[in-house]
Amino acid sequence: LNISPFTFNSNTYSCKEAAFNADGTELYFSSDMPGGSGGFDIWKCQWNNGKWSKPENLGKLLNSPVNESSPFITQENKHPVLFYASDRDGGFGGFDIYRSTFNSAAWQGIELQPAPINSVANENSYIYDPETRAGYVSSDRQGNTDIYRIRPLDLKLILSVRDSASKEVLE
């Protein structure tokens, strides 16, 4: 095996939790390098001409003054979707999973993911497969950090509306 350090590793900050986009041309990772919003932020490098570009901070909408980590990138309807963990205010408690979509040149719509993806415990890593619509989250909700599989329910709701006076079904 040929192993070498990432170009932007440093003795003064950490780079961790790397994830590639679908074609391997972008590397997303968490770092507390200078130039961020505070704590650990999500950064991105582009693979160009056989080397990684200078890290680009994904911005203050996505990154907060506390910690963002564990990026995971996927594609939905031709748009990149980023899942990541953050311990920002407004979540369920501890680290929670957030989602953002890249549209037209910017990350938009930072969304706190609902339960059961998040809980009052720490959720610190999430991956999702849009084809199977299944996700996996790491959480310490039972004391130890474990992996949980999340699949949508196949729920079918059938309604009938009746006239309140005649009790006949309305079309």
pLDDT tens track for 42-58: 999 999 999 999 999 99
Rounded to two decimals, the pTM is 0.85
* Residues paired with 41 in a beta bridge: 31
Rounded to whole angstroms, the Cα distance separating 69 from 53 reads 20
Helices (H), 35-118: none
What does the pLDDT read at residue 158? 78
Q: How many CB atoms lie within 10 A of CB 161?
A: 9
Angle at 120 between CA 117 and CA 123, to 5 degrees: 45
Q: CA 12, CA 118: separation in Å to the nearest integer?
A: 32
Q: What is the pLDDT of residue 82?
A: 95
Q: Please report the pLDDT score of residue 6 as a whole number.
A: 95
The amino acid occupying position 5 is: P
Q: Are 101 and 80 in contact (CB under 8 A)?
A: yes
pLDDT digits (tens, 9 = 90+) for 89-103: 999 999 999 999 998
Which pLDDT value is given to residue 154?
Answer: 66
- Percentage above 90 pLDDT, the chain: 74
What is the secondary structure of 124-153 as a DSSP string? EEEEEETTTTEEEEEEEEESEEEEEEE---
